[in-house]
Amino acid sequence: MDFELDPEQEEFRKSVRDWVDNHATKAEARMWERDEENFPTELWSRMAAAGFHGIGIPEEYGGQGGDSVTQLILARELARTLGGLTWAWGVTSFAGAHALLSAGTAEQRERLLPPISRGEDRWAIGFTEPGGGTDLVGGLRMQARRVDGGWQLSGQKTYCTGAEWARYILVLARTSTGDRPRDGLTMFIVPTDSQGLSFQHIPKVGFRGLRSSEVFFDDVIIPDNMVLGEVGHAFRALLGSLNNERIVLAGLCLGMIDGVLEDAVAYAQQREAFGGPIARFQVLQHKIADIAIAQAQSELLAFKAATMQARGLPVGQVANLAKLVASEHAGEAADLGIQILGGAGYTAETDMQRYWRDARLFRLAPISSEMIRNGLAESLGLPRSY
């Protein structure tokens, strides 16, 4: 399988790289992440002006078009400087655009996709619950019961990034019971101005510029036209979106590796100690070489997964592997980067610590490295371990 970018994709990559260098610098990223009280509106607006919110959305809905490879290119180039702030774009692309394209009705797509394309509406995800974590389905307690003209939602969600600033939250709830835990699940599009909805801020180690919240649903009423997909069969509709999310996150982690490598090489060449640049020390050269190796391995798996999805091939296992490898390598690379920069790497004036903090999340979420390994072992014929 050939993962080389075609001329159009390469031109897009270059244009995004140029945009990032001029409109989303590392210095600005450090500034934006310090403000946890406000959404990085300036960054969002710049992305809107560049048309990035329309990537992956068909032109008939006001989007720019593009497939999963295009989305991967964008995620990678943004994350080179922005790190976790890339999710300001990514969460709406996944929770809004891709979910609507995967499971939305014609009416929902026509009504909800154009505002996303124009950068007018932001979305958030409400899947995880306090007692669930990785056991997303088995730990689901959010209930939705039938009422006149719609549904009444009661329960709590957690780790909802950007929810307080979003127009809509994509929420997973149980509408009935069945033979399996995955049966009877339904997705709802919940407007954040709904009566009975409240938020509580969750301070985090990383992703500091993107506020995360617990969200409480106190008998929130949602009309029928805000049900996404078939009632009781959300798990089936989720699979395609979850694969896309993992590919985009692999791209985000790959971009952070790019940023780490760029900074490590520049610092080693500029910093002088013991009579010359520290780049001449073999021990530091090996650390930089290891970052480059991590970059190459992550790149291959990420583009393999994106290419397979773009071609309509089954991609679940490869998407998980791409996310696993890229997330673990991103954390390792950032840790090496801090070691190379020494004390400077531990300060908030450089970016290594930012990549390090942001990358740590993806070994846990949206699926942990351990769960991916469980699935891989099971696919090899080993007994189910959970």
Mean pLDDT of 171-185: 91
> At residue 137, does pLDDT exceed 90?
no
Kindly report, as residue ranges, where domains of CATH 1.10.540.10 are found in the chain: 7-122
User: Burial level of 274, CB count in 10 A (0-12/13-18/19+)?
Assistant: exposed
Contact between residue 97 and residue 279 where contact means Cβ atoms under 8 Å apart: no
Tell me, what's the pLDDT at 139?
86
Q: What is the pLDDT of residues 317-341, one digit of tens each?
A: 999 999 999 999 999 999 999 999 9
Crossing angle, helix 234-270 and helix 282-310, to 10 degrees? 150
> What CATH number is given for 7-122 in this structure?
1.10.540.10
Out of 59-63, 118-122, 137-141, 304-308, pick the least confident: 137-141
Q: What is the pLDDT of residues 199-247, one digit of tens each?
A: 999 999 999 999 999 999 999 999 999 999 999 999 877 776 789 999 9
Q: How far apart are CA 156 and CA 214, in angstroms?
A: 7
Q: How confident is the model at residue 125 (pLDDT cuts 50, 70, 90)?
A: very high
Mean pLDDT of 21-25: 98
Tell me, what's the pLDDT at 136?
84
> At residue 146, does pLDDT exceed 80?
yes
Tell me, what's the pLDDT at 174?
96
Return the percentage of the chain with pLDDT > 90, whole number: 91
Tell me, what's the pLDDT at 237?
73
Kindly report, as residue ranges, where domains of CATH 1.20.140.10 are found in the chain: 235-379
Kindly report, as residue ranges, where domains of CATH 2.40.110.10 are found in the chain: 124-233
Q: How confident is the model at residue 155 (pLDDT cuts 50, 70, 90)?
A: very high
Tell me, what's the pLDDT at 144?
97
Task: Report residue 131: phi and psi, to 5°.
Answer: -100, 10
> What CATH number is given for 235-379 in this structure?
1.20.140.10
User: Burial level of 332, CB count in 10 A (0-12/13-18/19+)?
Assistant: middle
Between residues 290 and 1, which one has the greater pLDDT? 290
Crossing angle, helix 234-270 and helix 352-360, to 10 degrees? 160
Give me 180's structure tokens. 């399996």
| Residues in the chain, overall count | 386
Tell me, what's the pLDDT at 131?
86
Tell me, what's the pLDDT at 78?
98
> Given the structure tokens 């409109």, which residue do they identify?
23
Which of 146, 142, 164 is closest to 154 using CA atoms?
142
Specify whether domain 124-233 bears CATH 2.40.110.10: yes
> At residue 36, does pLDDT exceed 90?
no
Contact between residue 182 and residue 169 where contact means Cβ atoms under 8 Å apart: no
Average model confidence (pLDDT) across the chain? 95
The model carries a pTM of 0.96
Tell me, what's the pLDDT at 211?
94
Q: What is the pLDDT of residues 87-121, one digit of tens each?
A: 999 999 988 999 999 999 999 999 999 999 999 99
> At residue 48, does pLDDT exceed 90?
yes
